[in-house]
A and B are shown apart, each in its own frame.
Chain A
Amino acid sequence: MAKMNNNNGKNNGKQTFTISAFSENHIGLLNRITIIFTRRQVNIESLTVSGSAIPGIHKFTIVVNDTLEKVEKVVNQIEKLVEVLRAFYHTEDEIVQQEIALYKVPTTALMESNKVEETIRKHHARILEVTPEFTVIEMTGHKEETQELFDELNEYGLLQFTRSGRIAITKSNREIFANYMQEAGKNSVKYA
């Protein structure tokens, strides 16, 4: 685990951390990772799994709200898993993050007044599909931003809503993990 922040002091308060883990793409690994959270009673706020920039390697992005001490230990346990290559944790100021949300409203709500249209413009959301019955709207942003749109659209009879987990990119120049892959082999003594 690489210590990504300069906050060496003990932080007893909870804060939001984004954990990223790079792993082999094997069946059951998600389960192995979530068991670590269950065992330490850490609630997962959001979880996203997808292929990383490196072929064959998957990236887990997990958002939790807990103490630094607990997050450090959880990340160590994740990295200990045989099929996990590296795991990191980041505070909010170390990453750029984004979520996506989809909203379904009755098309009549757009017909009756221009308030829905104004709301969409204000939030820089966009319309994906229109049918006589419903309209699907998409918005990307931080959770608070997509939530704001939710609250506003809800007044017009929101039919469906869904929000993705967080994806994040670090503010450091390169993917730290890519450096690791280059270094791999130099750090380990071949087991004989």
Chain B
Amino acid sequence: MKDTEEQIATTVETPKTIRISGAEAVMLSLIQEGVDTIFGYPGGAIMPIYDALMNYPDKLHHILTRHEQGAVHAAQGYARVTGKTGVCMATSGPGATNLITGITDAMIDSTPLVCITGQVGSPLLGTDAFQETDVIGISMPVTKWNYLITRQEEIPEIMAQAFFIAGSGRPGPVVIDIAKNAQFGELNFKYKRCHSLRSYIPKPKIEMGDIYAAADLINKAKKPYILAGQGIILGGAEEEFREFVEKSGIPAAWTILGACALPKDHPLNVGMLGMHGNYSTNIKTNECDLLIGVGMRFDDRVTGDLSRYARQAKIIHLEIDKAELNKVIRADVPVHGDVKDSLPLLTNLIEKRSHEDWLQEFKEADKVEYEKVIQKDLHPVKPGMTMGEVIHIINEKTDGDAIFVTDVGQNQMFASRYCKFKNKRSFVTSGGLGTMGFGLPAAHGAKIGAPDKQVILFVGDGGLQMTIQELGTINQTQAAVKIVLLNNKYLGMVRQWQQMFFDRRYSETFLLNPDFIKVAEGFGLQGKKVVERPQLDAAIQEMLDHQGPYLLEVSIEKEDNVFPMVPTGASVSEVILEQKK
């Protein structure tokens, strides 16, 4: 088998047909697609594939997670930092159903994944066989595409299509379910990568008329405003975006997944949008005369009450996914296409401008936010430690040269607000689905994908316990993930809502937690707990300097809240800056 492997993997297309098993064909297909890392968990229906995996120890690095959810989130973290398609594998039935949360997360956050699941032999399909689940049926609403392979001859073509579909256009997860008989059976294998499908247009041609119309609106606008989304990052259009922003002189805010589209310290980067975004970015939405959405989808967490969202403004929407155009916000000029293509065309046609007075308005609002919120978060004078000050020290020490990963909740909001994003693809978070338990496995996948980068996870005590078993995986790989556990002994975000909107009725949000340091030690990881501010700085330094994975637990003030806040159903003009006394 060694001979055939070398023979095949060195060329883009297989030079000649060889006779191998379906399981071998899956491995060779992965190699042909440039895959070198797989996250997964074996089981009965995928055993032939795992057996074939052993023949490629130099080419395919498999990471055994402790739960299939850990595998899919790790593949997501890997995909988000590398820009490559993440690959995970699981067995049929419970193995496959355990992937569903991560697949759903990848769907809503447009993360390219190929998930390979084993399936019972095709004669057993539909008979309620042991560990048989209709994975195609279950995953249909949450995949970009899925396919059940029942004959081994289908493997090369379907694998090629899977990678093409997952990674092109608006990326997303693909599930390939492979019946056990197709893994065992032999086929004549020849691989050809897929570059087009007649029913699928991943890169639409830009209509120049739309570009002219958009440029005209931009050149006439007095208070234009850019909203940057993940489409810029997915399209690899960070440079094109920066050129557009700099020539137009237009202030640019970003959605949570659009963090890193523009460096945080860029003079035209005015901050984050959304429920816990910045003050200026939200209120200015209802004061601009032109809104330019770039590769984003006007999520409800960004828009607040739609009937009071940017009604005064003309709207330009640059977006690759046609179904997103006019879905939530009716655009005056929709520009259908990859922003990598449309932005340079637009930059070409716009006048070089600066909008100093308008930018100054953002700065005035920033002063209000600094005084009411940021100062207290980053430089607290009260005895209890804040999530903000932990992040602030890490910013100082790393200068933003790190990959930041978050779980979901308060830790996520503080991290997205305060992390000093400097590099491309340096923020990994579960945006659309808000999946608690995402953080730890995603950070692990990120570190595997970017081994030379400092990878820092911010996670709460609730979210960490949802996938805490992945500490075992991390111990096995020794990937140097730096876990910052921000422990406030509560499900902090839910508690904040209970405090603000449910009259402080803390229904089921208090957690009696384990000794996390002992748990980490039990999994073979070093760690330290900090309970007082004077020890914080040195403890963070120790964590950053540590060679292997490390858990730093910080005791956080129990009833701290994230502000500013646009409450559900409110307009983006109605920003709450502080807790009512």
Q: Do A and B bind each other?
A: yes
Tell me the A residues contacting B by CB distance below 8 Å.
1, 23-24, 27-28, 31-32, 35, 39, 72-73, 76-77, 79-80, 82-85, 184, 187-192
Instruction: Please determine whether B199 and A31 come into contact, CB atoms closer than 8 angstroms.
Output: no
Q: Is B541 an interface residue (CB 8 A)?
A: no
Instruction: Please determine whether A188 and B140 come into contact, CB atoms closer than 8 angstroms.
Output: no
Question: 8 smallest A-B Cβ distances: which pairs?
Answer: A76-B323, A188-B201, A80-B323, A85-B199, A82-B145, A189-B203, A82-B200, A35-B141
Q: Which of A23, A28, A188 contacts B203 (CB 8 A)?
A: A188
Tell me the B residues contacting A by CB distance below 8 Å.
136-137, 140-141, 144-146, 148, 164-165, 168, 195-205, 321-323, 325-327
Instruction: Please determine whether B204 and A188 come into contact, CB atoms closer than 8 angstroms.
Output: yes
A189 to B201, CA, bound (A): 8
Distance between B299 CB and nearest chain A CB, rounded to angstroms? 16
A79 / chain B contacts, CB cutoff of 8 Å: 322-323
A184 / chain B contacts, CB cutoff of 8 Å: 198
Q: Which of A32, A85, A189 contacts B140 (CB 8 A)?
A: A32
A118 to B494, CA, bound (A): 72
A73 to B329, CA, bound (A): 12
A73 to B323, CA, bound (A): 7
Instruction: Please determine whether A84 and B199 come into contact, CB atoms closer than 8 angstroms.
Output: yes
- In the complex formed, the residue of A with least CB distance to B203 is A189
**Given A31-B140, A76-B327, A79-B322, also A24-B201 (CB < 8 A):** no
B204 / chain A contacts, CB cutoff of 8 Å: 187-189
Distance between A101 CB and nearest chain B CB, rounded to angstroms? 33
A82 / chain B contacts, CB cutoff of 8 Å: 144-145, 165, 197, 199-200
A83 to B148, CA, bound (A): 15
A73 / chain B contacts, CB cutoff of 8 Å: 323, 326-327
10 contacts between A and B (CB under 8 A): A23-B199, A31-B140, A79-B323, A80-B321, A82-B197, A83-B199, A83-B200, A84-B199, A187-B201, A191-B203
B202 / chain A contacts, CB cutoff of 8 Å: 191
Instruction: Please determine whether A77 and B136 come into contact, CB atoms closer than 8 angstroms.
Output: no
- 10 extra interchain contacts, Cβ-Cβ under 8 A, other than A24-B199, A73-B326, A189-B205? A27-B148, A35-B141, A76-B327, A79-B323, A82-B200, A84-B199, A184-B198, A188-B204, A191-B164, A192-B195
Distance between B520 CB and nearest chain A CB, rounded to angstroms? 42
Distance between B326 CB and nearest chain A CB, rounded to angstroms? 7
Instruction: Please determine whether A80 and B322 come into contact, CB atoms closer than 8 angstroms.
Output: yes
A168 to B201, CA, bound (A): 27
A1 to B141, CA, bound (A): 21
Distance between B290 CB and nearest chain A CB, rounded to angstroms? 22
B323 / chain A contacts, CB cutoff of 8 Å: 73, 76-77, 79-80
Instruction: Please determine whether B203 and A72 come into contact, CB atoms closer than 8 angstroms.
Output: no
A84 / chain B contacts, CB cutoff of 8 Å: 199
Most A CB contacts (10 A, CB to CB) among B137, B195, B323 go to B323
Instruction: Please determine whether A39 and B141 come into contact, CB atoms closer than 8 angstroms.
Output: yes
Instruction: Please determine whether B168 and A191 come into contact, CB atoms closer than 8 angstroms.
Output: yes
- In the complex formed, the residue of A with least CB distance to B169 is A191
**Given A31-B140, A189-B205, also A76-B145 (CB < 8 A):** no
**Given A80-B321, A191-B168, also A28-B196 (CB < 8 A):** no
A191 to B196, CA, bound (A): 6
Instruction: Please determine whether B195 and A28 come into contact, CB atoms closer than 8 angstroms.
Output: no
Q: Which of B141, B144, B196, B326 contacts A190 (CB 8 A)?
A: B196
A56 to B196, CA, bound (A): 17
Instruction: Please determine whether A35 and B140 come into contact, CB atoms closer than 8 angstroms.
Output: yes
Distance between A57 CB and nearest chain B CB, rounded to angstroms? 9
A39 / chain B contacts, CB cutoff of 8 Å: 141
A191 / chain B contacts, CB cutoff of 8 Å: 164, 168, 195-196, 202-203
Distance between A22 CB and nearest chain B CB, rounded to angstroms? 9
A72 to B322, CA, bound (A): 11
A31 / chain B contacts, CB cutoff of 8 Å: 137, 140
- In the complex formed, the residue of B with least CB distance to A22 is B199
Q: Which of B140, B164, B165, B321 contacts A28 (CB 8 A)?
A: B140
A187 to B144, CA, bound (A): 22
B198 / chain A contacts, CB cutoff of 8 Å: 85, 184
- In the complex formed, the residue of A with least CB distance to B136 is A28
Instruction: Please determine whether A187 and B165 come into contact, CB atoms closer than 8 angstroms.
Output: no
A189 to B207, CA, bound (A): 12
B322 / chain A contacts, CB cutoff of 8 Å: 1, 76, 79-80
Most B CB contacts (10 A, CB to CB) among A35, A188, A190, A191 go to A191
B195 / chain A contacts, CB cutoff of 8 Å: 190-192
Distance between B24 CB and nearest chain A CB, rounded to angstroms? 26
B201 / chain A contacts, CB cutoff of 8 Å: 187-188
Distance between B473 CB and nearest chain A CB, rounded to angstroms? 32
Distance between B344 CB and nearest chain A CB, rounded to angstroms? 14
- In the complex formed, the residue of A with least CB distance to B325 is A76
Distance between B445 CB and nearest chain A CB, rounded to angstroms? 25
Distance between A59 CB and nearest chain B CB, rounded to angstroms? 13
Distance between A8 CB and nearest chain B CB, rounded to angstroms? 11
A80 / chain B contacts, CB cutoff of 8 Å: 321-323
B196 / chain A contacts, CB cutoff of 8 Å: 188, 190-191
- In the complex formed, the residue of A with least CB distance to B337 is A189
Most B CB contacts (10 A, CB to CB) among A72, A84, A189 go to A189
A72 to B327, CA, bound (A): 9
Distance between B236 CB and nearest chain A CB, rounded to angstroms? 13
**Given A72-B326, A76-B322, also A187-B168 (CB < 8 A):** no
Distance between B406 CB and nearest chain A CB, rounded to angstroms? 28
Distance between B180 CB and nearest chain A CB, rounded to angstroms? 19
Most A CB contacts (10 A, CB to CB) among B140, B165, B195, B198 go to B198
B325 / chain A contacts, CB cutoff of 8 Å: 76
